[in-house]
Chains A and B, each alone.
Chain A
Amino acid sequence: MNRNEKITDEKLAFHIQQGDKEKFGFLMNRYNEKLLHYGRKFITDTYKIEDLVQDIFIKAYENIMNFDTTRKFSPWIYRIAHNVFINDMKKKKTVSFSIFDFDAILPHPGYEDFLPKETMDSNIKNLVEKGLENLSIRYKEILILYYMEDLSYKEIAEILKIPIGTVGIRLKRARDSLKKQIPSDILDK
Chain B
Amino acid sequence: MNTQKNLRKNILNKINKGDLKMKPKIYFTARTLIIWTIISVTVVTMAFFVSFSIFSIRESSRLFLLGFGSMGVWTFFVTFPWFLLVLEIILLIVVDILLKHFKFAYKTPFIYLILSTAIFVMFISIFISSTPIHETLYQEVIEQRLPALDIIYKDAKQPPIKEGVLRGIITRVDDDMFTIYSDDKDKDKDDGLWDIFISQGQLKYISSTINVGDFVVTACRQKADGRCYLYGLKILDLPKMK
Q: Which residues of A contact B (CB under 8 A)?
A: 16-17, 21-22, 24-25, 28-29, 32-33, 50, 53-54, 57-58, 61-66, 101, 104-108, 157-158, 161-166
Tell me which residues across on chain A come within 8 A of B7, comparing CB atoms: 28, 32, 50, 53-54, 57
Q: Is the CB of B110 within 8 A of A104?
A: yes
Q: Is the CB of B106 within 8 A of A163?
A: yes
B85-116 interface with A by 8 A CB criterion? 100, 103, 106-112
Q: Is the CB of B107 within 8 A of A157?
A: yes
Chain A interface helix/strand/loop/mixed: helix
Q: Is the CB of A58 within 8 A of B109?
A: no
Beyond A61-B20, A65-B28, 11 extra complex contacts between A and B, CB < 8 Å:
A21-B12, A24-B12, A28-B7, A32-B4, A32-B7, A33-B4, A62-B20, A65-B22, A163-B106, A163-B109, A166-B109
B24 at the interface (CB under 8 A from A): yes
- The complex places the Cα of A24 from the Cα of B11 at a distance, in Å, of 9
- The complex places the Cα of A57 from the Cα of B6 at a distance, in Å, of 13
Q: Is the CB of B11 within 8 A of A106?
A: no
- How many B residues face the partner with a CB closer than 8 A? 27
Residue of A nearest to B19 (CB): A58
Q: Is the CB of B111 within 8 A of A163?
A: no
Q: Is the CB of A62 within 8 A of B22?
A: yes
Contact of A61 among B4, B15, B103, B110 (CB under 8 A): B15
Contact of B24 among A22, A61, A65, A108 (CB under 8 A): A65
Q: Is the CB of A107 within 8 A of B112?
A: yes
B187 at the interface (CB under 8 A from A): no
Central interface residue in A28, A101, A165, by most chain B CB within 10 Å: A28
**A to B CB contacts below 8 Å, 29 in the list:** A16-B22, A21-B12, A24-B11, A24-B12, A24-B15, A28-B11, A29-B4, A54-B7, A54-B11, A57-B7, A61-B15, A61-B20, A61-B22, A63-B22, A64-B22, A65-B25, A65-B27, A65-B28, A101-B110, A104-B109, A105-B109, A106-B110, A107-B111, A107-B112, A108-B109, A161-B100, A163-B107, A163-B108, A166-B109
**How distant is B101 from chain A, measured CB to nearest CB, in Å?**
9
Scoring B residues 16 to 59 as 1 if CB is less than 8 Å from chain A, else 0, what string do you get? Answer: 10001111110110000000000000000000000000000000
Central interface residue in B15, B27, B28, B108, by most chain A CB within 10 Å: B15
Q: Is the CB of B11 within 8 A of A66?
A: no
The 5 closest A-B pairs by CB, nearest first: A161-B106, A107-B109, A66-B28, A105-B110, A65-B25
- The complex places the Cα of A16 from the Cα of B22 at a distance, in Å, of 10
- The complex places the Cα of A24 from the Cα of B15 at a distance, in Å, of 9
- The complex places the Cα of A16 from the Cα of B24 at a distance, in Å, of 12
